[in-house]
Structure 1
Amino acid sequence: MILISMAKCFLKTLISMAKCFLSENILTSYRIYGDRKSLLTPLIILHGGPSGGFDYLLNYRRLADDGRMVIFYDQYGCGRSTHFPHADASFWTIARYLRQLTQLIHHLGIGHGYSILGHSWGGMLAAEHACLQPAGLRGTILASSPGLRGTILASSLASSPASIALWQQEGIRLFNALTPMSDDDIKNVIMPAVIYQNPPEQLVAYYARHVYTLAEEAVHVQRSNAQFAADPTGYHILWGTNELAANGKLADWDITPHLCQIRCPVLVLRGENDQATERVVSPLLSHISDCRAVTIPGSSHNPHEENIAPCLAAVSAFLRDLA
């Protein structure tokens, strides 16, 4: 059931915004750029988080300049879609997020052919979706996304009784390179810190180097951040308190054994100073049969904001090469 639908033409690019009920009383908000009748394969954008919406990724709308349909949507609990601030941890699952994506694909009538681009957490979802080998999936772009988080590694926190995911281990390595701290201080000061609630300056410095390097945020980035701060439920339950504290439900997530099931071409995209380091993305490159990698210079976890032209050029070239 479409609740809201409107379309406008700006510089030959059709923009439509809509909300629809897909299932489970989840109202999904989405926005389409480009031409619905274009012969180019549509591209679906999966945002990170989760909690804030897709707005911070809107520079990717420029991929619609040649008419390609580019679809942004807010995952459940995020942005303009239905929020569930009182839902318990059992409600927040990869399976439910995947159902929302699949239902949106069917709702838009593009199941016969589409590509996906997932950023950070959205890349995890994109990889999970690709592993299902949907018949219409033409290509997958994994942007600043981990290949695993649950591999057993030697802990960089001597006081921690459990192994630390590769993403977190690399994050702590980068953090200590900026601001060396004792294991106890990292455990007791950094790990519990909430980024939108007076975070310690050391964590702010880490974000400024490896997450978002620009001195000023674009308005569309501010919107996503405001949405995140207003309701971080999904992020705190699934991911953790901040980017370094990967201690939520996904702490044991490891897709490595399933990456061989991905049959479509894959582009692994990351920033030069990304918290998604070469080591973090290495499982993607070594376990996916048709995979290429591009590193965007002068950027961190958000190359689509920090060095826009080469980022969009890399994605455009990949999309052009798809059959």
Structure 2
Amino acid sequence: MTTNAAPFIFGSETFETSYTVFGDLKSGARPLVVLNGGPGLPHSYMLPHADLHGTRGRPVVLYDQLGCGESTRLRDKPASFFTPALFVAELDNLLQHLRIALDFDLLGQSWGVTLAIEYIAAHRPAGLKHLVLVSGSPSYPLWREALVSLRAQWPRDFRDMLDRHEKDDTTGAPEYQEGLMQFYRKHICNLEVWPPETFTTMAQMGEDPTVYRTMLGVNEFSMTGTLKDWSVIPKLGAVSCPTLIINGVDDEVPDSCIAPLFHGIERARWVTFGLSSHMAFWEEPTKYIKIVGDFLADSGLKNDTQAQEGIVAFVL
């Protein structure tokens, strides 16, 4: 494992992207680049993907997107600075810096799904061989609707409590935060004891929530950021490589949000993990790593005819 920083020039400024490589990028094995969620969540919670190096010998690149973790912080930037185009440019710069742009795989989780699609639509990368999209909605308006439906499934007194604090702008109150954690323990990570890496990510994001709050909002229920009306559904046709789509049966990104990905990407497979929510890589790690590893090792769907006839959605 090696950690370093890639200089990134954007406009007239130079920033740094902190990244960690598990394995040897010169080994000849195709590397996997992992895009974390948020936006603004450091990569710590995505560390299970490093197992693809240990079990498959595949180099894995994890990095902190600008504004979080060990990368350059952006506390003083205006809201207009935080656009998908910024993070697309950062990703492209990292690929060029690592000299892997001609042969790589890409995995995006949550917001990372949006970033992956935006990158592909902007650059049409010939070097991208496989794409994995994990628990991310291609449309934030669609996701907002889905969250309303999920919230409606909870008891009335629970919903009334959330409504009251959101109306009074007291979402920092312990009662509200405890309620939010109840929701997260069902729809984000259903493990009785959360892995320390997830708490590390949350603590780092809480220390500097600039990117998250600017682009998303206070939380998923209060999407007031620059992404609240964003959709990449019109851009899904740009994806031409074999694609694996993943979500969990209790995911906060439910099937209604995943379906447009499955139907909009021609060469797609969809797997729903039956014991997971938003982090199948923590909730069902052995099965998750096997399925992702097998997909990346395969040559994928061989041609368009096979893609049209052979794509399946199934529950594990």
**TM-score normalised by structure 1 residue count:** 0.85
Give the stretch that moved more between structures: 68-77 or 308-317: 308-317
1:302 counterpart (267, 279, 283): 279
Partner of 1:53: 42
How far apart are the structure 2 equivalents of 1:129 and 1:221? 26
More helix by share: 2
Give the stretch that moved more between structures: 112-121 or 172-181: 172-181
User: 1:147-162 alignment to 2 at 5 Å?
Assistant: 147-149=138-140
Structure 2 letter corresponding to 1:27: E
> 1:214 Cα shift?
1.8
The answer as to 2:66 corresponding to 1:81 is: no
User: 1:247-266 alignment to 2 at 5 Å?
Assistant: 247-266=224-243
How far apart are the structure 1 equivalents of 2:83 and 2:211? 10
How far apart are the structure 2 equivalents of 1:46 and 1:234? 15
> 1:26 Cα shift?
1.3
Gaps of 5+ in 2: 301-316
1:115 counterpart (79, 82, 105): 105
Partner of 2:154: 178
> 1:110 Cα shift?
0.5
The answer as to 2:128 corresponding to 1:137 is: yes
How far apart are the structure 2 equivalents of 1:260 and 1:238? 25
> 1:314 Cα shift?
1.5
Q: Give the total of aligned pairs.
A: 294
Partner of 2:305: none
Partner of 2:219: 242
Deviations 1:65-99 (A, max 9, x none): 23211000100001110111121101111101000
Gaps of 5+ in 1: 1-14, 150-164
Partner of 1:28: 17
Q: Note closer, same or farther for the CA distance 1:195–1:121 as it changes in structure 2 (3 Å cut).
A: farther
How far apart are the structure 2 equivalents of 1:128 and 1:197? 37
Partner of 1:96: 86
Answer whether contact 2:40 2:212 (CA < 8 A) is retained: yes
Partner secondary structure for residue 84 of structure 1: coil
Partner of 2:308: none
Give the stretch that moved more between structures: 217-226 or 176-185: 176-185
Partner secondary structure for residue 153 of structure 2: helix
Answer whether contact 1:266 1:291 (CA < 8 A) is retained: yes
How far apart are the structure 1 equivalents of 2:199 and 2:163? 29
How far apart are the structure 2 equivalents of 1:281 and 1:193? 32
User: 1:31-42 alignment to 2 at 5 Å?
Assistant: 31-42=20-31
Deviations 1:5-45 (A, max 9, x none): xxxxxxxxxx1111131213211100000222222211000
Structure 2 letter corresponding to 1:144: S
User: CA RMSD for the aligned pairs?
Assistant: 2.0
The answer as to 2:142 corresponding to 1:166 is: yes
Structure 1 letter corresponding to 2:216: W
Deviations 1:211-236 (A, max 9, x none): 12123222222221111110011111
Q: Note closer, same or farther for the CA distance 1:309–1:235 as it changes in structure 2 (3 Å cut).
A: same
Partner secondary structure for residue 305 of structure 1: helix
How far apart are the structure 1 equivalents of 2:34 and 2:282? 15
Answer whether contact 1:48 1:118 (CA < 8 A) is retained: yes
